[in-house]
């Protein structure tokens, strides 16, 4: 299984809502990532988990709260978002070590719209 | 922050022609990768070239790396309509136990049938 799955595919939420994005992989990867991508722009790294511990937080606002409950799952909890947070949210995973650790496997993304 | 710039921003070619995309980056790297993204979808890893390699091939893909100029190119030969996508270079650095990729600005390739 070389797939990273993300749910939901699309999400529309109001600025007062609380929602969560989910990501799952069963490739035994111990590094998992959240990226944000605006239209016609490259992905921007938000968070990195390595061995279920948060190792990188790229100065992301606290209205985004990541969680890695186990080695296969990664969540992104959303609260009090702003319309400018509307974007494609991508999850990725990779091996934790060696050259292969740089090759990231991406999920299809969650298209988030904040109204 | 964005590490690299790619050019051209957009490229339109006929099926069967070759497509060349260029990427420049700013800092020292361990390796450089190229990814493809179909519209509104996730990225797919295409090829990785290490900092001590100068050229690498994979099927119809040829990647070059010039660390002295901090630049790389991706050549797709005999293009097909299915190659229509955005292509991103990404530079990889190690940050403790984590691996950090920074993506270039991307090239939108359109292959006309």
pLDDT tens across A11-30, in order?
Answer: 999 999 999 999 999 999 99
Length of chain A: 115
**Is the pLDDT confidence value at B2 over 60?**
no
Which residues in chain B are closer than 8 Å to A41, comparing Cβ atoms? 105-106
Task: Give the list of residues 6+ apart from residue A97 with CB closer than 8 angstroms, or none.
Answer: none
Question: How confident is the model over B47-64, as pLDDT tens digits?
Answer: 999 999 999 999 999 999
Which residues of chain B make contact with A55, given a CB cutoff of 8 A? 95-98
pLDDT of residue A59: 86
Contacts of B31 in chain A (CB under 8 A): 99, 102
The DSSP annotation for B47-110 comes to EEEETT-SEEEETTEEEEEETTTTEEEEEE-S--GGG-EEEEEEEEEEETTEEEEEE---EEEE
Handedness of CA A28, A30, A36, A37 (dihedral sign): negative
Say if CB A89 and CB A21 are below 8 A apart: yes
Contact A102 B31 (CB under 8 A): yes
Per-residue pLDDT, averaged over B92-108, amounts to: 82
For residue A115, what is the enclosing H or E element?
A: none
Across chain A, mean pLDDT equals 93
User: d(Cα A21, Cα B22) in Å, to the nearest integer?
Assistant: 34
Bridge partners for B5 per DSSP: B24
Over its C-alpha atoms, chain A yields an Rg (Å, rounded) of: 13
- Mean pLDDT of the region A68-94: 96
Using a CB–CB cutoff of 8 Å, tell me whether A42 touches chain B: yes
SS3 label, residue A60: coil
Nearest CB among B30, B98, B101 relative to A50 is that of B98
């Amino acid at each position: 299984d070389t797939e990273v799955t993300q749910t939901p595919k699309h999400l529309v939420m109001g600025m007062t809502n609380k929602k969560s994005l989910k990501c799952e992989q069963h490739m035994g990867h111990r590094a998992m990532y959240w990226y944000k991508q605006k239209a016609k722009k490259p992905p921007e790294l938000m968070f990195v988990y390595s061995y279920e511990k948060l190792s990188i937080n790229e100065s992301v606002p606290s209205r985004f709260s990541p969680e890695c409950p186990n080695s296969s799952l990664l969540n992104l909890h959303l609260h009090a978002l702003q319309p400018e947070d509307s974007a494609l949210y991508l999850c990725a995973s990779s091996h934790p070590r060696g050259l292969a650790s740089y090759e990231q496997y991406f999920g299809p993304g969650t298209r988030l719209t904040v109204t | 922050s964005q590490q690299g710039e790619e050019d051209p921003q957009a490229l339109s070619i006929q099926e069967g022609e070759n497509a060349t995309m260029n990427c420049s980056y700013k800092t020292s790297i361990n390796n450089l990768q190229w990814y493809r993204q179909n519209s509104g979808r996730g990225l797919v890893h295409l090829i990785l070239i290490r900092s001590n390699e100068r050229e690498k091939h994979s099927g119809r893909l040829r990647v070059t790396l010039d660390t002295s100029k901090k630049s790389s190119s991706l050549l797709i030969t005999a293009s097909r309509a299915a190659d229509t996508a955005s292509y991103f270079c990404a530079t990889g650095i190690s940050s403790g136990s984590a691996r950090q990729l920074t993506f270039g600005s991307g090239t939108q390739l359109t292959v006309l049938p």
